[in-house]
Chains A and B, each alone.
Chain A
């Protein structure tokens, strides 16, 4: 294999593996804020136990997120040096801002969140939890802004610098607030909230099925279901709005998502299906289609014309089969998740959830849903952008480092694969261990400074 293929596989592997963790940190961060908020408000110590249990899980996901995240920052330079030279002026500032505004906030207050339980008062601890959660959200803001520049570049001009040309900033806010940033950020965050909420739901449902830690599980499940319901419904709204953005800003991508070969009005929406390539002259989509629906969703008019792949020369088209599959997989999961949340809320409201075992079993496995949809969504977004690394400006093969060799990249790819398999195994092993061990009964009685509710600073001094 050549350097390009190997580098793309390596980037896909490392970003895919990395992306298991940050959404969990963001989602669990929100859950922790709610749990600790409930504790401060109700003074019911089961919420303290809950916050401590989920903090331990959070710590696990955070450590892996940090460890695999540094790889990402380095990889732009190691494998995609030409890309880095081309966009450094723009992309670099977003990464640096992420470091200063997000990572410091997250990691600094994480210390208080994890190790400050009996060193600070309740309110200070709650503040730290909020800051960690905020930091996690900030990191999403900057990285999505940076990635959105690659999708819909704005606020730049191309400058010729003798040896090579590069993109330079002309308007910082236009660059950060590119047409796709808002939609994509909201979409990413909803996905992250779902990931956190469904993890809590899954573990709580498991406890209810096994009749362990029932009070803890019921309350966790309640919080999880409410967040999951809100996030899943918002996700559908955000998905709709993102897709309309793609239709306007990246028509080739939308055409690939939907396997639309010919520009047409009254374009159909494929619910389930696949791309049939058996006749290369006339590829088509086979499956269940709703006529006019794609036109309606994209432009709110069933007779609107949707641009097909035929509007683009073959070398400018994204890979269709994989874009189509990734996108449809994500959408299918995206509609399944709110169903689970609605059913859960319904049975929970009728106080029958603990007896509805089939639903609890679905909930146990529901944790895979957002994880899978998050992965598929990002793969759809990135594969759908091909053959461009920066949409319309720089092609992926032109972004590669010039000085690396295939054997070296193969070596690093094998190394990362081995390490990541090991890490994933350890992560699952420890997570399972944590779940089997369950919440610590000692945590029902807070100690240290946290034992005294609403300690004021004056009392602290005494």
Chain B
């Protein structure tokens, strides 16, 4: 490894960190959205909406910034994936639009049809976005056909293969579990008890999905375990991941909801780490023609841009993290409905 590829590796990691940040943060508000229709009481739905009210917007910025970082650091990947997954991304956009405006619009009018419409928009948008994000990840894991110019050479229906779909369902389960635990921390009384039951169920749902996905990955997508085979010490991450998963129901059972939530975060972070490690140095693996893969060298921007971006990130990210923590601190504790609530 020379200096040139060091910067590329750093950016591979940073883009991964941004998307992991997105999963940890937007994951819980997508999850709360996916659970939204489980209760039919209006005041309970409002509490759920307001549990994510002040923060969902900032959480979504992680996706925007992740997308921007991908565009800047690996423009070839950005161009290939976004144009190749055209229909999937348009659907994702529609889902995200509906979700965003539904949160803002829902409680502005008292009519039943009005609230029902936006409730469906919010829940549907959340589920569809989670599913599509998972399907996209699954496709990147399994590999997609690329031509010699690095352009996508498949079709939309070709993306809906069993493995990506399984990843999609697993992502929905993961976000639902994450959201349910978050909801338990933010609510009181009856809704709190309901969420506690849902959280238990979503944990079971997720554990089953995770087990199936792991088995299918080992059997059918062996390249996602190759790095682990070559560097056995990386098994420690897989082990950490399993411990984190096992710790969720344990902490939850003891009523340590905060720790259960942290374990859920650790689960996501280790999953993303495993994903990244086995993907490295490729960003988009080409199957069936691996020589067309987009990797950290052939897909990257110039060294100059990567340097500039590193400076920008070095200045920006610590500031962002500082005030994000402050804002989460201001809105800590259980949801209280006020005049300015959704």
A interface with B by C-beta (< 8 Å): 52, 59-60, 63-64, 66-71, 73-74, 76-79, 81-82, 84-85, 87-93, 95-101, 103-105, 107-112, 114-120, 159, 163-164, 166, 168-170, 172, 401-404, 408, 411-412, 415-416, 419, 423, 426, 430, 433, 440, 442
- Which listed residue (A89, A110, A402, A416) contacts B57, Cβ 8 A? A110
Kindly report which residue of chain A lies nearest to residue B66, judged by CB atoms. Answer: A99
List chain A residues, Cβ under 8 A from B97. 67-68, 70-71, 419, 423
Does B205 sit within 8 A of A, measured CB to CB? no
Do the beta carbons of A115 and B71 come within 8 Å of each other? Answer: no
Residues of B280-337 contacting chain A, CB below 8 A = 301-302, 304-305, 308-309, 312-313, 316-317, 320, 323-324, 327, 330-331
Interface centre among B93, B97, B98 (most CB of A within 10 A): B93
Dominant secondary structure at the B interface: helix
Q: Contacts A70-B60, A109-B323 hold; do A118 and B338 have CB atoms under 8 A apart?
A: yes
- When chains A and B are docked, how far (Å) is the Cα of A163 from the Cα of B151? 12
Do the beta carbons of B71 and A76 come within 8 Å of each other? Answer: yes
- Starting from the known contacts A93-B312, A433-B108, 15 additional A-B residue pairs (CB-CB under 8 Å) come to A63-B57, A70-B97, A77-B81, A84-B79, A93-B72, A96-B69, A97-B312, A100-B65, A104-B58, A104-B323, A114-B340, A169-B304, A169-B305, A408-B156, A416-B90
Measured CB to CB, the closest approach of chain A to B49, in angstroms, equals 12
Measured CB to CB, the closest approach of chain B to A272, in angstroms, equals 40
Do the beta carbons of A100 and B317 come within 8 Å of each other? Answer: yes
Dominant secondary structure at the A interface: helix
Q: Can you list 6 pairs linking A and B with CB atoms under 8 Å apart?
A: A78-B86, A82-B79, A89-B302, A90-B305, A101-B316, A408-B87
Do the beta carbons of A104 and B320 come within 8 Å of each other? Answer: yes
Do the beta carbons of B61 and A99 come within 8 Å of each other? Answer: yes
Do the beta carbons of A104 and B61 come within 8 Å of each other? Answer: yes
List chain A residues, Cβ under 8 A from B60. 66, 70, 107
- When chains A and B are docked, how far (Å) is the Cα of A120 from the Cα of B63? 28
Do the beta carbons of A111 and B312 come within 8 Å of each other? Answer: no
Q: Mark B143-167, 1 if CB is under 8 A from A, else 0.
A: 0000011111100100000000000
Do the beta carbons of B339 and A440 come within 8 Å of each other? Answer: yes
- Which listed residue (A79, A95, A115) contacts B341, Cβ 8 A? A115
- When chains A and B are docked, how far (Å) is the Cα of A440 from the Cα of B55? 25
List chain A residues, Cβ under 8 A from B86. 78, 401, 403-404, 408, 412
Interface centre among B73, B153, B340 (most CB of A within 10 A): B340
- Which listed residue (A77, A107, A110, A423) contacts B78, Cβ 8 A? A77
List chain A residues, Cβ under 8 A from B257. none
Do the beta carbons of A103 and B64 come within 8 Å of each other? Answer: yes
